[in-house]
């Protein structure tokens, strides 16, 4: 399951929201962390679970950049990751380690704070929460921003999933393959005139327009989120003079992107936390002497539900 995440992180994204937060989390998904970071004392140790390309460690480093507090944040992720390089001289040391399952960590240095943003809920919580509880110092905190089963993120992505798995999307890709074949090699203006006047190409172009219209009518927002329109535009613009083989390779790439996206979205929907899962998290943690502090919901500026925010603390005795 980590393969599609490895491929996603290899593309250089900083968060799992693609271009939505291209230069790191902002708004409430950033602000929620500032009071948590503020509690850290010099020489702190932080562990970020399911860190991806290190968005949260980077937020923490930026928070402490102006201070003279030093500390270390280690991030782990089950996927292969491609984090940006951090300055080794900085007073905040960042170590990001890929191909590490948070259900059983390869180190046991006690930490003051364990964090996760849309991460730990993808793991087997019975195992990962026990592991986290064992690594927390007495009095140490566990702060988790997790997917909420009723959030707008989940409902929006369920719509994207429906759209990319629809018969209409499959037909659209098939028609693009047929058009690539029917166009043949396009290298000159004469070829452009030829394909403009070609009956088969004309019918295929109309079919493609109609299918895009259907996707648009069925769910405009999901169509925009899915990147399908960008792929089609690339095919017709940059791809116009590509060889038939290159066009076919590009369409294979698009199919792979869409199937990886579907896998990530299916996992996302399964990972979301409802009240029953929350109750079982509380039970697992309290068995490990990690006490519940708070569960709040995060909302966007237009009052849409975004996520849960849970805080727990390792019992003093």
Ligand X SMILES: C[S@@+](CC[C@H](N)C(=O)[O-])C[C@H]1O[C@@H](n2cnc3c(N)ncnc32)[C@H](O)[C@@H]1O
Residue number with CB closer to ligand X (21 or 216): 21
Specify which residues 201 forms β-bridges with: none
Q: Whole-number minimum distance, CB 14 to ligand X, in Å?
A: 7
Look-up of token digits 């603390």: 313
Q: Whole-number minimum distance, CB 275 to ligand X, in Å?
A: 21
Residue number with CB closer to ligand X (25 or 250): 25
Q: Which residue is nearest to ligand X (CB)?
A: 52
CA–CA separation, 20 vs 55, rounded Å? 13
Look at strands 136-147 and 305-314 and give their pairing. antiparallel
Contacts of 110 (CB under 8 A, 6+ apart): 45, 135, 136, 137, 140
Q: Whole-number minimum distance, CB 128 to ligand X, in Å?
A: 6
Chain residues binding ligand X by CB under 6 A are: 2, 5, 15-16, 50-52, 55-56, 76-79, 101-103, 117-119, 122-123
Residue pair 227/260 in contact by the 8 Å Cβ criterion: no
Q: Whole-number minimum distance, CB 18 to ligand X, in Å?
A: 10
Identify the H or E element spanning 299. strand 290-299
The DSSP code for 33 is T
CA–CA separation, 68 vs 92, rounded Å? 9
Residue number with CB closer to ligand X (33 or 312): 33
Residue number with CB closer to ligand X (74 or 247): 74
Q: Whole-number minimum distance, CB 76 to ligand X, in Å?
A: 6
Residue number with CB closer to ligand X (205 or 264): 264
């Amino acid at each position: 399951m980590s393969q599609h995440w490895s491929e996603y992180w290899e593309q250089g994204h900083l968060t799992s929201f693609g271009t939505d937060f291209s230069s790191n989390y902002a708004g409430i998904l950033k602000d929620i962390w500032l009071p948590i970071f503020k509690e850290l004392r010099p020489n702190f140790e932080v562990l970020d679970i399911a860190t991806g390309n290190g968005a949260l460690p980077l937020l923490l480093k930026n928070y402490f950049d102006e201070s003279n507090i030093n500390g270390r944040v280690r991030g782990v992720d089950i996927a292969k990751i491609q984090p940006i390089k951090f300055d080794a001289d900085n007073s905040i040391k960042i170590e990001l380690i890929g191909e590490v399952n948070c259900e059983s960590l390869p180190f046991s240095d006690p930490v003051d704070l364990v964090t996760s943003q849309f991460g730990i809920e993808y793991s087997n919580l019975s195992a990962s929460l026990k592991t986290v509880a064992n690594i927390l110092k007495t009095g140490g905190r566990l702060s988790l921003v997790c997917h909420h089963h009723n959030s707008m993120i989940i409902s929006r992505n369920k719509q994207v999933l429906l759209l990319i798995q629809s018969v209409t999307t499959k037909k659209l890709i098939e028609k693009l393959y047929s058009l690539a074949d029917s166009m043949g090699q396009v290298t000159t203006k004469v070829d452009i005139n030829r394909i403009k006047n070609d009956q088969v190409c004309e019918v295929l172009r109309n079919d493609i327009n109609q299918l895009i219209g259907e996707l648009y009518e069925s769910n405009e927002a999901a169509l925009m989120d899915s990147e399908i329109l960008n792929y089609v535009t690339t095919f017709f613009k940059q791809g116009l003079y590509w060889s038939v083989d290159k066009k076919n390779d590009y369409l294979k790439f698009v199919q792979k992107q869409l199937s990886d996206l579907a896998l990530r979205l299916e996992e996302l929907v399964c990972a979301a936390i409802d009240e029953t899962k929350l109750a079982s998290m509380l039970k697992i943690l309290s068995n490990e002497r990690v006490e519940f502090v708070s569960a709040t919901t995060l909302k966007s500026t237009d009052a849409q539900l975004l996520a849960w925010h849970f805080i727990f603390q390792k019992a003093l005795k």
